[in-house]
Amino acid sequence: MKEQTRAKPLSDRIMKVIVIVLCIILIPMLVINLTLIVKSFVNPDEVPSCLGYKPFIVLSGSMEPEFYSGDLILVHEVAKDFKEGDIIAFRQGNSVITHRIQKVDNRDGEKRYITKGDNNNTEDKFTVSDDKIEGIYILKVSGLGNFAFFMQTPIGMMVFIALPLILFILYDIFRRRLYDRREKSKMLEMEEELARMRQQIASTENDGALENMDIKKDNSDGPM
């Protein structure tokens, strides 16, 4: 008796796809976030980076419409001469500012950059040296900064770590129930098939017995 190979239920396949997609999204974000947090503790005086990239949350509207408050921007550490028009992230006191270079000043053999926010009316009152620059702006993700800020809070970290675990647990429970249901269905089918086979065997035996009885009867009715 050959066992037929059955395709997995659609709900099982959909659940697997959802779990895989969530893992692809959440696990890299979790690794990056943990890397940044660990580096910020190890080197509290430096802006943490991952593979040379540094994320920043925009807190003001000084660079609108390039990016807005609540956006997440990414800057890349580069060792090069910056030019007019480049958007750079640089340290100013205890904060990091991301503004556009308006002019490059090479006086006294030291390069200084004059910056300005696109949405500001005047240039910044200070100049920026190369050692203060954290990197050059490369892209933004609109609105993701608020979510990233929440992720850095203790509650956000707990939710962010617990969510994949909860999803894995729910998926495992769902998968086990489907497996048990399929196994029970297979057992019922096998029992029904065995019952049919027993009936066929019993019917065959009865037919054989009747046939033997007819033969004996014929022999008993013959000549002595």
The angle subtended at Cα 30 by Cα 25 and Cα 33, nearest 5°, is: 125
Residue with tokens 């696990």: 27
Domain assignments of the chain as residue spans, ordered by start: 10-45+153-217, 47-143
pLDDT at 194 over 60: yes
**How many Å apart are CA 19 and CA 24, to the nearest integer?**
9
Query: Can you read off the two tokens belonging to residue 16?
Result: 């697997």
Spatial CA neighbour of 165 closest among 67, 56, 27, 71 = 27
- Mean pLDDT computed over every residue of the chain: 76
| Inter-CA distances, 2 with 24, 148, 197, Å | 39, 55, 15
Q: What is the pLDDT of residue 183?
A: 78
State pLDDT tens for residues 78-125. 877 788 999 999 988 888 899 999 998 887 778 889 999 999 999 999
Task: Quote the CA–CA distance of 196 and 203 in Å, as a whole number.
Answer: 10
pLDDT, tens digit, 9 for 90 and up, residues 4-35:
445 556 666 776 677 677 666 666 666 666 66
Return the pLDDT at 199.
79
> Phi then psi for 82, rounded to 5 degrees?
-80, 155
- Phi, psi (rounded to 5 degrees) for 83: -130, 170
Contacts 24+ apart (CB under 8 A), 12-15: 12/175, 12/178, 15/171, 15/174, 15/175
- The CATH architecture annotation of domain 47-143 reads Ribbon (2.10)
In terms of pLDDT, which residue wins out, 91 or 156? 91
| Coil/strand/helix, residue 12 | helix
The residue among 189 and 71 whose pLDDT is bigger is 71
Instruction: Give, as one character, the DSSP assignment of residue 76.
Output: E
Residues 6+ apart with CB under 8 A from 16: 171
- For the entire predicted model, the pTM comes to 0.55
**Amino acid sitting at position 113:** Y
Question: How many CB atoms neighbour CB 163 within 10 A?
Answer: 13
Query: In this prediction, what percent of the chain has a pLDDT beyond 70?
Result: 68
The token pair at 70 is 């609540």
